[in-house]
Amino acid sequence: MKTYLQFGTIIRLLLTAGLLAMAPSVFSQSPALFSLSVAPELPVAGDTVTVSVVPANFSATTTMYTWSRDGLPVSGAGGLGRSALSISTDANQSQIIQVRVAVDPGAGFSPAEQSTTIYTLPSPSQQQEVLSALQSEFTLRASDTNPAPGETVTVEVVTFAFDKDAASYQWYVNGALQRSSSGRAQSRLSVAAGSEGEVKTVRVEVRTGSGEFRTKSVTLRPTSVAVYWWAETLVPYWYKGKALPSLNSRVNVIALPSVPSPSLLTYRWEFNGGLIPQSSGLGKSTFSFGLNLPVEERVSVTLKDALGTLIKTAEVNVKPVSPTVGIYAVQPLRGIVYENRLTDFSAPSGNSYDFLAVPFFFAREREQQLGYTWTLDGDAIVGTFAKPWLFTLTSNAGEVSLSRLGVAVTDLIKAGERASASFEASLR
């Protein structure tokens, strides 16, 4: 029995056999295996470091190499058989150098790449410099770098690296040697700040007990912060004193630093030690609060510049006072006799006399809610008055009277805020 293959089947068999014959040269590439060696293994700053490719399964001389340093190609370092790279390191400082190499051995191998990191150690002289720096390191600390004008500032050497009492110090203020404050163990200097805007530079030269020498300086820039407050309370127009705060009134505080651009400072406001974030920030130099408790309240503000450096801290204490009321005579031609707060009054009988009740230190926002109650010899005078703060006293001609006229002013909404006054009125 004979078997006949179709022509298409024969062609497919021939193609398959051809591909199988070609497979080793087309698909069977070996990965290029190698390692990197670095000499010297522990390089010192200034050494020449050589990085070499050590092949495991290919020839170094017939391979193409591409070198890069810190991510950048190294010009002229690559090429056929260039299996090593020499690197000159910086003699003045330690370095971290990243080296990468790509290898291409050619036919039968797939390209590969590797990288290594080189760390250079400080040179002996650099190590000695670091050691000397550690043994002589210190901080020059001022009690306040932005003192008030004329304030005494203490500048001190602070260190854990050497014995301060065994060291010698030379102190300078604006370049002038402070002989009386210099010498062995003189690690502290007291200096008076200058006037507003007068800068002083304090410098110290330190020689430790082991002979190490260091110098540092600090700048003192006098700055003052005036903190003012005012209360939104009632006072008459002629009153020359300060409007004092009372319970339920508002108080405004402003910080005025003696700097060229106060709007560029950051203000951090605290109320009784707690931060007020909504009132703090760049250029926010004012703060407002309500006096809701009969206790002293503490307001503080911290000022910092654009770099976050502390400029100044200031605080103020505000305590509510009890409101008062004064009674003043009103004359027809002159008006209010404001220089005389009445305690007694004498005048001829038979005339009318006007008296004005003037409230002090009630919350300004409560002005329309104030109630006035007049009394005569302790008895309330009832009735409806167009101007309840004004009272008119009348008498008959020839009538002699001695009466005590008084007034009580009360906040009709905020219960508890009340003030009263009275005087003796003698009519003859």
Q: What is the pLDDT of residue 307?
A: 85
Q: At the top level of CATH, which class does the domain 225-318 belong to?
A: mainly beta
% of the chain exceeding 70 in pLDDT: 92
Fold of 324-427: Immunoglobulin-like (2.60.40)
* CATH of the domain spanning 140-220: 2.60.40.10
pLDDT of residue 69 exceeding 50, the answer is: yes
**What integer is the mean pLDDT of 84-93?**
93
The domains of the chain are located at 30-121, 140-220, 225-318, 324-427
Mean pLDDT in residue range 53-75: 95
Task: Identify the band that residue 382 occupies on the pLDDT scale cut at 50, 70 and 90.
Answer: confident
| Identical topology for domains 30-121 and 225-318 | yes
pLDDT at 367: 92
The whole-number pLDDT of residue 415 equals: 66
Per-residue pLDDT reduced to its tens digit, 9-33: 443 444 444 444 444 444 578 999 9
According to the model, what pLDDT value does residue 129 have?
72
Better pLDDT: 340 or 414:
340
Report percent pLDDT > 90 for the chain. Answer: 76
30-121: CATH class: mainly beta
Q: What is the SS3 assignment for the chain?
A: CCCCCCHHHHHHHHHHHHHHHHHHHHCCCEECCEEEEEECCCCECCCEEEEEEEECCCCCCCCEEEEEECCEECCCCCEECCCEEEEECCCCCCCEEEEEEEEECCCCEECEEEEEEEECECCHHHHHHHHHHHHHCCEEEECCCCCCCCCEEEEEEECCCCCHHHCEEEEEECCEECHHHCEECCCEEEEECCCCCCCEEEEEEEECCCCCEEEEEEEECCCCEEEEEEECECCCCCCCCCCCCECCCEEEEEEEECCCCHHHCEEEEEECCEECHHHCEECCCEEEEECCCCCCEEEEEEEECCCCCEEEEEEEEECCECCEEEEEEEECCCEECCCCCCCEEEECCCCEEEEEEEEECCEHHHHHHEEEEEEECCEECCCCCCCCCEEEEECCCCCCEEEEEEEEEEECCCCCCEEEEEEEEEEC
pLDDT, tens digit (0-9, with 9 covering 90-100), for 146-205: 898 999 999 999 999 899 999 999 999 999 999 999 999 999 999 999 998 899 999 999
